[in-house]
Structure 1
């Protein structure tokens, strides 16, 4: 939603008499707005009203640590977040500091300043932008590993102020600002550039703005210059890359423009002016007066957007750029382009046609009121934009632009002043170095410094840091033409001038899947207080999948047989999709169905793969398919036995007779040959019994009949003969004794 009508386009009449500390209409958050709270803080132990302490902060999802530039110590402080929890605010401790200066100082380079860092987890690198102590000399891009050990160094342009690594790690870029820090009369105005390093080939390309044909005529060149002077006047500030890193979008803050650069060819494609924000329009009001009142109203003022940071995103297949419209003056010795309204108001001849929110008469009346009241005497205005309007620095907003045309799609208007006035009326438009009410109204207001984009749930959000009053805004930008305000969090302690988290400089969004707490986080580097705040969105916790377990990692399987594999994701309470996909590396050897049932198809080896729906995790099982054991009933079970005839086969496969005593008697009677044969036959029979079912014409057991265990007739005759013979002998002996 946009803010309620009573907070939009507030007129002078509606706020007349609204004094310091007075109540202000409360702001109702949109339905479904996000709840966010601070859960941790890191302090460098240094504060500085001039800023430059805790500046740019970057998160490393590989080791769950953040790296922050400590501008006063000139180090990169490393802080571990792996033990982070949500129940109370933790005081985080520094794990180590990385000193870049010691690694880069040489005869040809004297360390001057560490300005920016970026992290790429594909290449496992951190890139740092380092300026030379001599403001006219080229800087360096220092590539280090996660532990701070220098891997490589590349030469950048003059004063590299921001470094950006492409998503795949192929390119490292710097915005080389090249400010004329000693003025134009007695100093040097270096050439601004964009340095592009191909990290794979190590090729370095410094892109200059010397092609006047791609620079629009409405791009502002300072000091009365033309496009021919752009090569020195343009000062690259910040870089955003498109999805495939083929284009770089570069803010030229002092020139109120954005350049588009072809990363592959190193050519500037265009330099386009952003135009001016019409503060006469409803919803674009501002508090531009120093009168101890909250007085947000429409005025005949044109604001130069002058963005500092820029970021890129795609919504519905369309590429957009988001800018934080900070504003920045030129103040180098005699080279200055700002002045108080009091000193220039009589030189302005207002062109009322420039103000679409006023009629000619309304514009003239409002302008005359500004000149007469004295409340606007301290309003900071640009002196090099012309005398047809009041030109001010910055838009006090964030904007969304179409990347291909730089057409304005959305601007947050007066939201930031409306919201801060509603939530913090007693400290409205404080600066970041004192506690003076409404001090920033006549300058750049809340001063949006940085903007980042991130996904929370199913929606896309923008996060915008406010450098002066502090804190950061959250907007739902899923509909880029009509974003909705979602939250404003300010963790500054207003009980004193510099306390708590003061002066956001760099923001870092951490998506839930990469967060140590399982919820989205925003890190804020605060350059005056020297602190980093860790802020958590109170959404449903995201517990990512860490891996897959599998019941069998290898198995042997006879062709035609099946094996049921069981897989499970870990941890079991993951909030990610538990859907798994089964794949065989060779379905002609081992096939697998959607349940994990493996079927051996042909002899060989195949790998069964089970993976998550996003293909980020998998487990494998190596299946060795073996030929089946084939048994032929007509074939000797012992492959070494010669089965030359049916008779031999019958003898060789004959199972041992149940009554073996008669055989033993025969053997004891001297039938040695038969004994040997029977012994061999018995061994063969036992071996067959252990292996397969035997076949015997006289003793068949095929499972459908009992085996023939009857005593043979021959045995009966033998026993009978023995008994008769024995009886006869006994009779003969007894008869002789009687005789």
Structure 2
């Protein structure tokens, strides 16, 4: 049967996450870099895409498409995952399902779009040997195992060439669904049977492109036909039991334009096709889909259907709104498909059924309690590596694992990771910062410099990623998570002060802000200081003097603090006249309107660079962030140093500058590892409250080639 569904406003779910009380929650406990599974030379590109686990719950198996291998991870101790190596599969591994200790791997060997080919291979994980291989006669895209281990289902996509014509279906040959029995622990190729899916969909019905499959306890296979915007339920004998359109959604309060760095959620989309990717059975009658979109659609959320085609529940824009509030919204994807929910997993933990939805572009795993499939509750948003693609739940051990496909080697970002989460009686450790509770939906990200006021409230600036919507955020750090309570637009003559790169913020006694903006000479944007009133209006601009402009480079002021009547700004890296591994702390006397500087001795770097980020003053010292630009195990320098104010006597520009002394206050790497993730590179903000408590923040690069994760935490009193 075929049904066309258009969402009405009465079906929209609420956006708020249920309170993460001291109850059962998922918290990340470990991250495993895929590169550690290679001996000797590591490929320039690796990935972790689809993931499964052995029956004993002790070994994870994942596909690594660009490297052409599957990898295995020992999680006997889930907090310390260990490499078990890789196996070359002679093609592109696209999917994996494990029964017992055998992995069934879909391998794409297509020489072209018009001549698709592939195999499913059985791999004995005990010795990483291939025990069987069945020719699928097409390109496999996903696999699923029957609950009783009796057969494997394979979605044969035979995907379209997006560069052919205008990239639309139909593009033959058509895809279909294959099922193969598992006998005595391996594949019996003689049992291969096909279920034809042609003629079902209204959208290019002659060319179905199956995307994702899952199997319920009855042996029924649900398959999404993404480009066709269709869903089918197929019996194990290949008979189509039901099929229907995935339908469309009306979305309100979303961002559909790439405004080059502005988070504006005032647009809508009517009749947005779901075009689902991932699908998971919740019980024998209901399943959930992730509405990623591909050719024409992308409804940015999750939907639950009864297998007869009845629409049961729709998230609408509420999932994306929750993602916006924790700073993970990928603004550069606004004109495409937003956060892009893609992969899914389902499992029952301690009697509670959960659906896990992976938002590929937001790098978030959404956790829904689906005790009542007609009214799911969004319980948590978990931080992931960049672009989570697959997940596997291990409820008998209280574990969840995600595979994160993006490898950032070529983009200066983190490499691909597998991440593990523990289910337990503990408060949720993420997010650290949220705008939930504000009257309007407020997006944020790329937090840079910070400052605390006399009441202990913290003001933070976002850097140039949001340069077309510069804002100062007021943060209440006393709540868990810390709460953004106000967003102050920085304006010039009543309009957004576009193209600012705000890297530091300070407060004066009159309640004005002083903002340091890093320039870009290649874009004719000057380094400058700005006085901004409490309403966000720029009242004064101070450019750099000729003596500094003659030696400046792109990497400029990375913070600002006010000591008496003098503004101090750390320069991130060496300028033209600086000795090696020394950078300027630049001073500007507001009363005398005079410039000066001292030199700060920074660490050398064996890889990449080391520079300064932010600066704050408390008591008789200034406190400075010194960091390298490395991630994960490559990170060495993420530190806070104290410099005595007695050393901060500026010399005239152009003269020999005095060198200050520094004392290590804290190595931040243990803090950055405390939530089970890899070390983030951009520790960019420090604020010190009147009682001496220091708060640290990281910059998430506006969720661009970044996991979107923002850490915001206290290291206690700096005077201890």
Q: TM-score scaled to structure 2, two decimals?
A: 0.51
Structure 1 position 195 matched with structure 2 position 178: yes
Q: Does 2:265 align with 1:296?
A: yes
Q: Deviations over 1:457-486 (max 9, x none)?
A: 221111111101212111111011111111
> Which of 277, 281, 305 pairs up with 2:274?
305
User: 1:418: which partner in 2?
Assistant: 321
**1:537, distance to aligned residue in structure 2 (A):** 2.0
Residue pair 1:9, 1:285 contacting (<8 A) in 2 also: no
Match of 2:565 in 1: none
1:272 and 2:252 are equivalent in the alignment: no
Per the alignment, residue 546 of structure 1 pairs with none
The C-alpha deviation readout for 1:641-665, integer Å capped at 9, x for no partner, is xxxxxxxxxxxxxxxxxxxxxxxxx
Which residue does 1:321 correspond to in 2? 287
What does residue 144 of structure 2 align with?
164
- CA 441–49 in structure 1, closer or farther in 2 if over 3 Å, else same: farther
Mapped to 1, the partners of 2:353 and 2:321 lie a distance apart of: 23
Q: How does 1:266-415 map to 2 (within 5 A)?
A: 266-279=238-251, 284-291=252-259, 292-297=261-266, 299-314=268-283, 319-329=285-295, 382=296, 393-403=297-307, 405-415=308-318
Q: For residues 466 and 509 of structure 1, what CA distance do their matches in structure 2 show?
A: 17
SS in 2 for 1:481: coil
Deviations 1:386-423 (A, max 9, x none): xxxxxxx21110111111x2211111122222112211
Write out per-residue CA displacement over residues 342-378 of structure 1, whole angstroms, 9 at most, x where no aligned residue. xxxxxxxxxxxxxxxxxxxxxxxxxxxxxxxxxxxxx
Which segments of structure 1 move beyond 6 Å, counting only runs of 4 or more?
A: 7-10, 46-52, 184-188
Q: Aligned residue pairs: how many?
A: 394
Contact 2:57 2:394 in 1 (8 A): no
1:429 matched to which residue of 2? Answer: 329
Paired position in structure 2 for 1:263: 236
In the TM superposition, residue 234 of structure 1 has moved relative to its aligned partner by 0.9
Quick one: structure 1 residues 9 and 63, their matched pair in 2 at CA, closer, same or farther if it must change by over 3 Å? closer
* Contact 1:522–1:535 (CA under 8 A) maintained in structure 2: yes
Q: Which runs of 5+ in 1 are unaligned?
A: 11-25, 102-110, 222-229, 330-381, 383-392, 431-437, 492-500, 542-739
Which structure has the greater CA radius of gyration? 1
Indicate how the Cα distance of structure 1 residues 289 and 65 shifts in structure 2: closer, same or farther if over 3 A, else same.
same
Task: Name the structure 1 match of 2:68.
Answer: 74
2:128 alignment partner in structure 1? 148
Q: After superposition, where does 1:559-570 map in structure 2 within 5 Å?
A: none
Q: Structure 1 269/99 Cα, relative in aligned 2: closer, same or farther at 3 Å?
A: same
User: Equivalent of 1:464, from 357, 376, 388?
Assistant: 357
* Cα drift, residue 9 of structure 1: 8.7
The equivalent position to 2:117 in structure 1, one of 118, 138, 150, is 138
Q: Distance in 2 between matches of 1:295 and 1:465?
A: 23
Contact 2:281 2:287 in 1 (8 A): yes
CA shift for structure 1 position 184 = 6.8
| Cα displacement string for residues 595-641 of structure 1 (whole angstroms, at most 9, x for unaligned residues) | xxxxxxxxxxxxxxxxxxxxxxxxxxxxxxxxxxxxxxxxxxxxxxx
3-state SS of paired residue (1:538): strand
Is residue 534 from structure 1 mapped to residue 420 from structure 2 by the alignment? yes
* Shift, 1:533, TM fit: 0.7
SS of equivalent residue, structure 1 residue 55? coil
* 2:659 alignment partner in structure 1: none
Instruction: Tell me which residue corresponds to 2:367.
Output: 474
Q: Does 1:241 align with 2:235?
A: no
- Residue aligning to 1:107: none
Q: Aligned partners of 2:359 and 2:45: how far apart in 1?
A: 14
CA separation in 2, counterparts of 1:50 and 1:267?
Answer: 44
Superposition deviation, residue 263 in structure 1:
1.5
1:426-477 per-position Cα deviation (integer Å, ceiling 9, x unaligned): xx532xxxxxxx2112211111011111112221111111101212111111
**Number of the residue aligned with 1:29:** 19
**What SS does the aligned partner of 1:486 have?**
strand
Instruction: Note if contact 1:142-1:153 (Cα within 8 Å) is conserved in structure 2.
Output: yes
Question: What's the counterpart of residue 39 of structure 1?
Answer: 29
SS in 1 for 2:324: helix
In the aligned structure 1, how far is the partner of 2:174 from the partner of 2:17?
47
Match of 1:205 in 2: 193
Q: CA deviation at 1:504?
A: 0.4
Query: 1:596 matched to which residue of 2?
Result: none
Q: Partners of 1:260 and 1:207 in 2: how far apart?
A: 11
Change in 2 beyond 3 A, CA 1:57/1:527: farther
Where does the alignment leave 5 or more consecutive residues of structure 2 unmatched?
Answer: 1-9, 408-414, 428-720
CA contact (8 A) 2:401 2:420 kept: yes
Q: Which residue of 2 aligns with 1:522?
A: 401
Helix, strand or coil for the counterpart of 2:373?
coil
- In the TM superposition, what is the alpha-carbon distance from 1:49 to its structure 2 partner? 14
Structure 1 residues 56, 527: CA separation in 2 closer, same or farther (over 3 Å shift)?
Answer: farther
> What is the match of residue 454 of structure 1?
347
1:724-739 alignment runs, 5 A limit:
none
- Partner residue in 2 for 1:712: none
CA positional deviation for 1:35? 2.9
Contact 2:75 2:82 (C-alpha < 8 Å) held by counterparts: no
Taking a change above 3 Å as real, the CA distance of residues 74 and 411 of structure 1, as seen in their structure-2 partners, is: same
Checking the alignment, whether the CA contact within 8 Å between 2:391 and 2:400 is kept in structure 1 is: no
Q: Flag the 1:28–1:274 CA change in 2: closer, same or farther, 3 A.
A: closer
The 1:476–1:155 alpha-carbon spacing in structure 2 relative to 1, beyond 3 Å, is same
User: Is the 2:303–2:314 Cα contact (8 Å) retained in structure 1?
Assistant: yes
Are 1:143 and 1:153, in contact at CA under 8 Å, matched by a contact in 2? yes
RMSD: 3.2
Larger strand fraction of residues: 2
Distance 1:319 1:209, change over 3 A: closer
Task: Find the residue that maps to 1:116 and give its secondary structure.
Answer: strand
Cα distance change on mapping 1:298 and 1:100 into 2, 3 Å: same
1:429 is paired with a residue of what secondary structure? coil
Superposition pairs of residues 50-129 of structure 1, within 5 angstroms: 53-62=47-56, 64-85=58-79, 90=80, 92-101=81-90, 111=91, 113-121=92-100, 124-129=101-106
